[in-house]
Amino acid sequence: MIRSIRDEISSWYMQLVLILLVLSFISFYGWSGSGLGAGNVASVGKEKLSLQDFQFQLQNRLQYFQSQGINITKEQQGFVQDMIIGGFINERILYTNAKQVGFVTSTDQVRNNIRDAFSDSEGNFNFDFYNNYVRNRLGKNPAIFEKEEGKRVLAQTYQSWVLASSLQTPLALETDYIHNNDKRSISFIEISLDNTEKKLSLTEEISDAEIQEHYNQNQETYTTLETRKFDILRFEQPENPEDESIDFAQKSREILTLVKNDPDLDYKTYAESQDQIDFQETDWVTYSDAVDNISSEDLAMIINSSLSLKEGQQTDILQSRDGSVVYLAKIKGITEPKVKELDEVRTQIITVLTTQKKEQQLKTYAQDLLSQWTKNNATLSEAAKKKGYESQHAEDITFSADGNIPVIGTSVEISKDLFAQSLKEQDFLPKVYEVQDKYYIAQMDKIQIPDMKTFTDKKIELWSVSSQEIAQNKLAALSERTRERTKIFQLQSEEL
């Protein structure tokens, strides 16, 4: 079925028809708020946008505008609200169509999206941060969040497929053929501190002036985090309650509400008079710290609840994800962020500056090698061997706007320079390239030019089985069936 649709949707005209049909579809069904159900602001069939999700997205958008120095008026906020709702409707239409034509969510793509979004600068996935963010910031179970991400992936996949199949005009077919058959092969060497540091030598010591300048320019790096100190009451559900008819959550909240209503009550003294409530006093903590008997997720929940509070104030009554523990916390102290004294971080700064100088020297060393080898018309493999490097090869490289280079990694610069008209076989690429803290020198081995006669034969075969009329009729029928089966509702911005 997918192949049939792909063959029949093949022109820019059909793509325009698709867009117009979708827009008319949205406007036809999108003006009524009835049928949404409580707590929702939009729906596409059974897919609903909750008020909570809408408010979260709206707050993020408004905060972004504010961070850019843009003041949003009340009228403009209505446009932002409509944009969020419209985005949801468009995405869910794509998702519905994707399911209808047989697309299946890629669990690998979902995992990759989540891993990319919740990884640090070094690419390490932080599960605790992900878990805490989804539960405490979004108010969702990770399984539900991942299911929603799957729908987004499916919608994006379908959209890409429709665009690709709709744009297969003769010119697009020729462009694709040339792209896929215009190939390059290269030899290259990798230069890094690991394999070159012994060839480098730092003759200058790090001066006090350099240390001071770095310290002044990088104050944020040497600023301590805000920390908080808490008194905490833990109300834990017994494993074998004497009376199972008692609702633990309700009982614990009623008791802790009495405590919360008496701000002068000493937590420790109160806990000592209770059998089921434990008292815990923390040290100065932030999100990355560990506290006995409190999970990292629960600690993050407590800290989040305290962010707008001052010393001596109490958090909301909080419940763990599994519902087995209820907390009430009082802030005993707050330390504000502060910049460490220069003497405290001097050794750290010297290490940073030394590494920076080595990296600069490494780059200069690589540039000198490229200059020498280019001047001498050297063969990279032989020249590299004399310097103690082993040359490597990457073959059948096609142009990539994203800069995907086999073996090496991602470099838009390499991809662009590889396909420059002036390069010939055995030419060195014109510069040293930095990819993930490593430097690369490359030489062109082979240039493969597309065989346009083969393309002409394939083009005739491809286009002999399709027609614009069939594509138009098929697309109109698909869109009409979707219109008949799906109802779309949304609230107006003035209703929100």
Domain of 239: which CATH number?
3.10.50.40
Gap between the Cα atoms of 301 and 295, Å rounded: 10
Q: Tokens in use for 124?
A: 């390490």
Higher pLDDT, 111 or 32: 111
Total count of domains within the chain: 3
Both 159 and 12 in one domain: the answer is yes
**Among 80-89, 265-274, 317-326, 364-373, whose mean pLDDT is lowest?**
80-89
Answer whether 322's CB lies under 8 Å from 153's CB. no
Report the candidate in 94, 90, 220, 196 with the shortest Cα–Cα distance to residue 439.
196
Both 208 and 147 in one domain: the answer is no
Both 17 and 58 in one domain: the answer is yes
DSSP, collapsed to helix, strand or coil, labels residue 349 as helix
- Whether 242 is covered by a domain: the verdict is yes
The pLDDT score that the predictor gives to residue 455 is: 74
Distance of CA 407 to CAs 185, 188, 192, 286, 462, Å? 12, 10, 16, 41, 34
- Whether 133 is covered by a domain: the verdict is yes
This prediction has a pTM of 0.48
Position 167 pLDDT exceeds 80: no
CB-neighbour burial class of residue 256 (10 A; exposed 0-12, middle 13-18, buried 19+): buried
Both 64 and 155 in one domain: the answer is yes
Answer whether 78's CB lies under 8 Å from 72's CB. no
Contacts of 54-63 spanning 24+ positions with Cβ under 8 A: 54/81, 54/84, 54/85, 54/496, 56/137, 56/138, 57/84, 58/84
The pLDDT score that the predictor gives to residue 60 is: 86
Domain of 198: which CATH number?
3.10.50
- Whether 290 is covered by a domain: the verdict is yes
Domain membership of residue 23 as a residue range: 2-176+455-495
The per-residue pLDDT for range 387-406, each reduced to its tens digit, is 999 999 999 999 988 999 99
- Whether 295 is covered by a domain: the verdict is yes
Answer whether 253's CB lies under 8 Å from 317's CB. yes
**Helices 12-29 and 74-100: angle between axes, nearest 10 degrees:** 120
Gap between the Cα atoms of 142 and 133, Å rounded: 9
Both 149 and 259 in one domain: the answer is no
The pLDDT score that the predictor gives to residue 121 is: 75
Both 289 and 384 in one domain: the answer is no
Domain boundary at 335, 355, 388, which?
335
**Among 67-71, 155-159, 352-356, whose mean pLDDT is lowest?**
155-159
Both 121 and 30 in one domain: the answer is yes
Q: Tokens in use for 118?
A: 């919740």
Both 24 and 140 in one domain: the answer is yes
- Whether 221 is covered by a domain: the verdict is no
- Number of residues assigned to the chain: 496
Both 480 and 360 in one domain: the answer is no
Domain boundary at 335, 350, 365, which?
335
Domain boundary at 335, 368, 399, which?
335
The per-residue pLDDT for range 410-423, each reduced to its tens digit, is 999 999 999 987 88
- Whether 222 is covered by a domain: the verdict is no
Confidence of residue 472 (pLDDT cuts 50, 70, 90): very low
Highest mean pLDDT among 86-90, 153-157, 377-381: 377-381
- Whether 462 is covered by a domain: the verdict is yes
The chain-wide mean pLDDT, for the chain, equals: 82
Dihedral of alpha carbons 97, 100, 103, 106, sign: positive
The pLDDT score that the predictor gives to residue 424 is: 92
The per-residue pLDDT for range 175-229, each reduced to its tens digit, is 777 888 899 999 999 999 999 988 887 667 899 999 999 999 999 999 998 999 9
Domain of 172: which CATH number?
1.10.4030.10
